Homo-oligomer: A and B are copies of this chain.
Amino acid sequence: MNIDCNIDGSVDVTGCKLSIYPMSDNFAGIITNAIHQLDALKLPVWQKTDLFSTTYRGRQENVVNIVKAACQLAYTESVHTVYELTFSKGCPGDTDADHYLNEEITPIKFEHELPNIPVACKYSFYAFGDADYMKDIEKIVNMAEDKGLNPEGMHYATKLTGSIDDLFDYFNEALSYAHEHIRHYVMEVTISVNSPSEG
């Protein structure tokens, strides 16, 4: 059985697999409402939904913008919600629909402004290949410090706290840096809002 990234096609494609977990009896309505609002736009990325998540692939800035909007659209006051994001780039063979790399950077706009919510986040950055990328990863974590996201070490991950605007600005900066310096990487991100443990 084939165990590459299961995609044919330019390794310059940035992918993000997004899962949304609203801890609410109305979880299905919350997710469906967010996805329908996004799908009403013409999105400049390739996308596919499966049992676990929706995968967006295309130009990095567009993927980051769309995933951020999806998180904001699913945000519901007082509902503890967790978002799982897997960013991936450089997997040999990840070239399917790579024409989306030619898309302009497209702002994702709605009639109502999307909320700049406070978030807690944990993430791990994994780099693959022969090179020793520890210095690059250290640089990427330090960029979070510069952004005011207060990185703290935890087991197998780094914790960040701040606003969703600052967090996704940071993701764009970190992924741009990684694009320049690291051939193949995965960033696993968990974002938590309205956690009762935070109070």
Interface residues of A (CB under 8 A from B): 1-3, 5-7, 15, 17, 19, 21-25, 27-28, 48, 50-53, 55, 57, 80, 82, 84, 86, 88, 91, 120, 122, 124, 126, 128, 130, 134, 137-138, 141-142, 145, 151, 153-159, 186, 188, 190, 192, 195-198
The quantity of this chain's copies bound in the complex is 2
Q: Is there an interface contact between A158 and B126, defined as CB atoms closer than 8 Å?
A: no
Q: Is there an interface contact between B141 and A190, defined as CB atoms closer than 8 Å?
A: no
Assuming the contacts A25-B25, A51-B198, A198-B51, asked whether A1 and B155 have C-beta atoms less than 8 A apart, the reply is: no
Q: Is there an interface contact between A186 and B126, defined as CB atoms closer than 8 Å?
A: yes
Q: Is there an interface contact between A137 and B23, defined as CB atoms closer than 8 Å?
A: no
Assuming the contacts A2-B153, A6-B154, A153-B6, asked whether A24 and B25 have C-beta atoms less than 8 A apart, the reply is: yes
Q: Is there an interface contact between A156 and B27, defined as CB atoms closer than 8 Å?
A: no
A25–B82 CA distance with the chains assembled, in angstroms: 14
Q: Among the listed B15, B134, B151, which residue makes an inter-chain contact with A156, where contact means beta carbons less than 8 Å apart?
A: B15
- Distance in angstroms from A98 CB to nearest chain B CB is 14
Q: Please name all residues of chain B whose beta carbon is closer than 8 Å to the beta carbon of A158 when the two chains form the complex.
A: 3, 6
List 19 interface pairs A-B (beta carbons < 8 Å), by A numbering: A1-B142, A2-B153, A6-B155, A6-B156, A17-B157, A19-B82, A19-B190, A21-B21, A21-B82, A23-B23, A50-B159, A51-B197, A52-B120, A52-B122, A52-B157, A52-B192, A53-B190, A86-B156, A124-B186
- Distance in angstroms from A78 CB to nearest chain B CB is 11
The 10 closest A-B pairs by CB, nearest first: A23-B27, A6-B153, A21-B21, A55-B155, A25-B25, A3-B141, A88-B156, A3-B138, A52-B122, A51-B197
